[in-house]
Amino acid sequence: MDDFELTLKSGFLEEASGLLADAEQCFLNLESSAGDCSVLEQIFRLAHNLKGSAKAVGFEDLSHFTHQLESLLLKIKKNEIPINSASVDLLLRCNDHVRMMIDGLRADFNAKFESESLLSEIEAMLNGQMPAASEPDAHKTEEAPAADVHAPQFEIAVAPKEAKPAASAQPPSSGGAHAEESIRVSFARLERLLNFVGEMVILQTVLREQATKVDSHTLNRTVDQLGKVTKEVQDISMSLRMVPIKQTFQKMQRIVRDTARALNKEIHFEISGEETEVDKTLLEKIGDPLVHMVRNAVDHGIENAERRAASGKPSTGHIRLSAYHRSGSLIIEVQDDGAGLDAAVLQKKAIEKGIIRPETKLSDKEAHQLIFAPGFSTKAVVTDVSGRGVGMDVVKTNITQLQGEIQIETTIGKGSCFRIILPLTLAIIDSMIIRCAKELFVIPLNHVHESLKPRPEDLHFTTLGEILMLRGENIPLFRLGEVIGLTPPSRRPADGIAIVVRTQSQPFAVLVDDIIGQQQVVIKTLGQEIRHLKGFSGSSILGNGRPALILELHELVIRHQGSNRRAAA
Amino acid sequence: MSINEMNQLKAVDGTRYLVFSLGDGDYAIPLLGVREVIAFTETTPLPFSPPYFVGIMNLRGQVISIMDLRKKFNVKPRENAETAVIICDLGDISLGVVVDSVNSVLSADSKDIAEKPEFTSGDKADFVTGVYNKNSKLTLIVDIARALSLDDKATISKTGAKAA
């Protein structure tokens, strides 16, 4: 096992522990809020990610097991298996089993695991047999004590015997080498540091002003020096979040190799810009989307050898992964010289799957976006590699959450280029500060398409709600004060400013009282107790020293429509 | 410190509590869960939140949620209140609670702390963990974490769905 592979594997195990912790919480939520689709959706994605990554770094047992688990989850998601204590119990035991496998792998990369009894239980449930509560227990003790969640020690103790002597000697050495290069710091601590540095910068400017009033040369000199040091500390603390994208890119190399081998394709994989620095939180979150995109490029993008030969291309396909900074954004491109996306085929598939209606007319660009629809897949067969139609959906969700966007450039027969455009950091955003009633709010600038002062004759009250006529287009208009419950509903034409949002498929406009200005703001997360409140992605401390909420207009409007509908019913 | 650890602390002799007033009543919370006490400052209201949720404030660069314990416990604020905010560390959550006044620090032996009376039932009783009784003055020992986790998360979501 070479160093490269070791890095990959230990990287995966770290990531997997995080995924598992999330998964466990979800499983528990599942039981308390049965029927909540979003929880299932999340579990499904977690399982999918785990499977993909496990396969990528070569943990076959784990990958096989999670593949089965995923099938089970899919059935539950489709309501073919009810969510009851029996199914949740099985899921939790699967979760424990996966955790045990990961712990085992951490001790020894070559550990083998016996999952038969759990797999057969999954199989049974897939086939519609609901096991009686006592049955699995009896089954386990009789046949396969190894899969029992209470016996992880047994597994781990057995594993080294199977491992080859050379391999078992390696893991400790890799662990030792890493500990010296860097230390891991919890993100919460880093955030606290950044908070205090921010406050220090403000205090330092205050001190400077006060010092000028005192006629003391030495004091002023000290304040100047303090200013320089403060600036330095600020720069360093901000850069603590930045890491090169290298490790994530290297992981892709392995994924391309293995996926290509599984599909019998020859692919030349090229990487550029791996030194590009990326915000650590951002990097953690783009890992999974990238895996999906790269795998998709291999699976769907590059044609098989016969088709390539038929269209006169060299038999080896090319995939190029690159990263670079451009005008304050991070750009990541996945480029292939494959078949390209055929808008007509995509539309046909989408109609078959019931994602769009047969009569819907889409432009080519809109048709390309169909690959991001949940449940969309052009593959007829579900394979280990792809075809379940969750991949690109996950990509889109993750990227949107990061305030980013995906562009597709594609030519039929020539290939495609998927371009992810992301902010350089999640800590700072360009924003528009607006006023509504007496309160100030922050709107991410990239959500704002345009802002205008509507003339009274452009505003129309209809039974469907208020409509803004904008250059011949009818755009639904919402009053921010009503949406967030600050002002009572009114039908008078207001003298506010309309902010047009086009980030979603349907444009909409939000009427605010005033625009205060545009500025970069530092995002502060909200406390856990209110983080689940939809419609607010965080807060930011403005120049007046008070926090202002960062609005997710889209979510607010959806919630508003929902409550209106309930009120009408 | 986790909520569990904090609950364990209450059994130990000599545990110290911060005593504060809401209306005419005295209440106490474990001192180890208190980060600091500050004067009430301006807050930013949070839409879709229940009435006792005052809003969010800037505490030296950290954004913190502020809850009015008087409204939460349904107590009438005192007229000459020296309103203060107690910043509590509850596991992963930092939270400010508005009280009428902060009085003293109390060092209590476990024999001085009685179980809460049985007849108290309903929501209120759940975040009272005990009663400190000395010199015929009653102080209710409350668990802020429980006051919040009990129903606030649910309430905030529910109120949010109903609002607007």
Q: Which of B44, B49, B145, B129 minimizes the C-alpha distance to B89?
A: B145
B148 at the A interface (CB within 8 A)? yes
> Rounded mean pLDDT of A249-253?
84
**Residue pLDDT, tens place only, B97-111:** 999 999 999 888 777
- What is each CA distance from A381 to A60, A79, A128, in whole angstroms? 21, 21, 22
Q: Is a pLDDT exceeding 80 seen at residue B5?
A: no
> Rounded mean pLDDT of A65-70?
82
Predicted confidence at residue A164, as pLDDT, reads 37
Test B148 with A526 for CB contact under 8 angstroms: no
Test B56 with A526 for CB contact under 8 angstroms: yes
Single-letter amino acid, residue B68: D
Chain B residues within an 8 Å CB radius of A528: 92-93
Distance to chain A for B2, nearest Cα, Å: 14
Distance to chain B for A435, nearest Cα, Å: 13
Q: Which residue has the tokens 């609002």?
A: B163
Q: Which of A164, A49, A148 minimizes the C-alpha distance to A100?
A: A148
Q: B36 near B88, Cβ under 8 Å? A: no
Phi first, then psi, for residue A385 (nearest 5°) are -80, -55
B135 at the A interface (CB within 8 A)? no
Quickly list DSSP for A40-90.
HHHHHHHHHHHHHHHHHHT-HHHHHHHHHHHHHHHHHHTTSS--SHHHHHH
A196, closest residue in chain B (CA to CA): B61
**Residue pLDDT, tens place only, A141-186:** 333 333 333 433 333 333 333 333 333 333 444 444 444 467 778 8
Instruction: Tell me the pLDDT band of A297, cut-offs 50, 70 and 90.
Output: confident
Predicted confidence at residue A491, as pLDDT, reads 64
Residue A546 is nearest to which of B44, B92, B162, comparing CB atoms?
B44
Distance to chain A for B50, nearest Cα, Å: 11
Q: Which two tokens stand for residue A93?
A: 């035991």
Quickly list DSSP for A500-536.
EE-SSSS-EEEEESEEEEEEEEE-BPPPHHHHT-TTE
Predicted confidence at residue B35, as pLDDT, reads 92
Q: Is a pLDDT exceeding 60 seen at residue A139?
A: no
Residue A526 is nearest to which of B45, B63, B148, comparing CB atoms?
B63
- What is each CA distance from B75 to A360, B71, B98, B131, in whole angstroms? 59, 6, 12, 18
Predicted confidence at residue A320, as pLDDT, reads 92
H-helix segments, B15-143: 69-72, 123-126
Q: For the packed helices B144-162 and A553-568, what is the interaxial angle rounded to 10 degrees?
A: 70
Instruction: Tell me the pLDDT band of A31, cut-offs 50, 70 and 90.
Output: low
Instruction: Tell me the pLDDT band of B120, cut-offs 50, 70 and 90.
Output: low
Test B65 with A526 for CB contact under 8 angstroms: yes
Chain CA centroid to CA B8, Å: 18
Spatial separation of the C-alpha atoms in residues A223 and A208, rounded to whole Å: 6
Predicted confidence at residue A410, as pLDDT, reads 87
Predicted confidence at residue A33, as pLDDT, reads 64
Predicted confidence at residue B12, as pLDDT, reads 61
Quickly list DSSP for A245-262.
SHHHHHHHHHHHHHHHHH
Distance to chain A for B25, nearest Cα, Å: 27
A551, closest residue in chain B (CA to CA): B47
Predicted confidence at residue A206, as pLDDT, reads 75
B164 at the A interface (CB within 8 A)? yes
Q: A44 near A70, Cβ under 8 Å? A: yes
Q: Is a pLDDT exceeding 60 seen at residue A69?
A: yes
Test A547 with B60 for CB contact under 8 angstroms: no
Q: Which two tokens stand for residue A289?
A: 């989307």
Chain A residues within an 8 Å CB radius of B61: 194-196, 198-199, 524, 541
**Residue pLDDT, tens place only, A84-107:** 767 777 777 787 788 888 878 877
Predicted confidence at residue B48, as pLDDT, reads 85
Test B95 with A527 for CB contact under 8 angstroms: yes
B46 at the A interface (CB within 8 A)? yes
Q: What percent of chain B has pLDDT over 90?
A: 20
Q: Is a pLDDT exceeding 90 seen at residue B85?
A: yes
A198 at the B interface (CB within 8 A)? yes
A541, closest residue in chain B (CA to CA): B58
Predicted confidence at residue A176, as pLDDT, reads 41
A567, closest residue in chain B (CA to CA): B162
B153, closest residue in chain A (CA to CA): A529
Spatial separation of the C-alpha atoms in residues A147 and A149, rounded to whole Å: 6
Q: A454 near A498, Cβ under 8 Å? A: yes
Buried b (16+ CB within 10 A) or exposed e, A137-170: eebbeeebebbbeeebeebbeebeeebeeeebeb
Question: Residue A395 contacts by C-beta under 8 Å, 6 or more apart in sequence?
Answer: A289, A292, A293, A372, A406
Phi first, then psi, for residue A514 (nearest 5°) are -160, 155
Single-letter amino acid, residue A392: M
Highest mean pLDDT among A4-18, A29-43, B46-60: B46-60
Residue A547 is nearest to which of B47, B58, B92, comparing CB atoms?
B58
Spatial separation of the C-alpha atoms in residues A183 and A410, rounded to whole Å: 43
Question: Residue A237 contacts by C-beta under 8 Å, 6 or more apart in sequence?
Answer: A193, A194, A197
Q: Is a pLDDT exceeding 50 seen at residue B61?
A: yes
Long-range contacts, A401-409 (Cβ 8 Å, 24+) = A401/A285, A402/A282, A402/A285, A402/A286, A402/A426, A403/A429, A403/A444, A403/A446, A406/A372, A408/A341, A408/A365, A408/A368, A408/A369
> Rounded mean pLDDT of A434-447?
90
> Rounded mean pLDDT of B33-61?
88
Predicted confidence at residue A378, as pLDDT, reads 56
Residue A527 is nearest to which of B47, B64, B163, comparing CB atoms?
B64
A418 three-state secondary structure: strand
B110 at the A interface (CB within 8 A)? no
Distance to chain A for B114, nearest Cα, Å: 30
Predicted confidence at residue A508, as pLDDT, reads 92
A479, closest residue in chain B (CA to CA): B164
> Rounded mean pLDDT of A66-87?
78
Q: Which two tokens stand for residue A362?
A: 């889409």
Residue A545 is nearest to which of B56, B58, B162, comparing CB atoms?
B58
- What is each CA distance from B56 to A207, B65, B82, in whole angstroms? 27, 4, 20
Q: Is the dihedral of CA A241, A273, A321, A403 positive or negative?
A: positive
Single-letter amino acid, residue A13: L
Test A541 with B163 for CB contact under 8 angstroms: no
Q: Which of A111, A214, A116, A112 minimizes the C-alpha distance to A171?
A: A111
Q: What percent of chain A has pLDDT over 70?
A: 83
Q: Using only C-alpha atoms, what is the Rg of chain A? A: 27
Q: Which of A552, A497, A502, A494 minimizes the C-alpha distance to A523?
A: A552
Instruction: Tell me the pLDDT band of A377, cut-offs 50, 70 and 90.
Output: low
B1 at the A interface (CB within 8 A)? no
Predicted confidence at residue A263, as pLDDT, reads 84
Question: B154 or A185: which carries more pLDDT confidence?
Answer: A185
Spatial separation of the C-alpha atoms in residues A562 and B98, rounded to whole Å: 33
Q: Is a pLDDT exceeding 90 seen at residue A332?
A: yes
Predicted confidence at residue A567, as pLDDT, reads 66
B27 three-state secondary structure: strand
Distance to chain A for B136, nearest Cα, Å: 37
Spatial separation of the C-alpha atoms in residues A153 and A166, rounded to whole Å: 23
A474 three-state secondary structure: strand
B157 at the A interface (CB within 8 A)? yes
Residue B160 is nearest to which of A533, A541, A548, comparing CB atoms?
A533
Predicted confidence at residue A500, as pLDDT, reads 93
Task: Give chain A's mean pLDDT.
Answer: 77
Single-letter amino acid, residue A245: I
Name residue A336's beta-bridge partners.
A319, A416
> Rounded mean pLDDT of A488-495?
70
Chain A residues within an 8 Å CB radius of B63: 524-527, 539, 541, 547
Question: A393 or B34: which carries more pLDDT confidence?
Answer: B34
User: Which of A546, A557, A564 should we substitute to test contact with B (largest number of B Cβ atoms within 10 Å)?
Assistant: A546
Spatial separation of the C-alpha atoms in residues A483 and A511, rounded to whole Å: 10
By the 10 Å C-beta count (0-12 exposed, 13-18 middle, 19+ buried), A237 is classed as middle
**Residue pLDDT, tens place only, A260-291:** 888 888 888 889 998 888 888 788 888 888 88
Question: A564 or A154: which carries more pLDDT confidence?
Answer: A564
Distance to chain A for B83, nearest Cα, Å: 19
> Rounded mean pLDDT of A34-49?
75
Distance to chain A for B62, nearest Cα, Å: 6
A541 at the B interface (CB within 8 A)? yes
Q: Is a pLDDT exceeding 90 seen at residue A42?
A: no
Q: Is the dihedral of CA A396, A402, A407, A408 positive or negative?
A: negative
B94 at the A interface (CB within 8 A)? yes
Q: Which two tokens stand for residue B50?
A: 């229940």
Sequence length of chain A is 569
Q: Using only C-alpha atoms, what is the Rg of chain B? A: 16
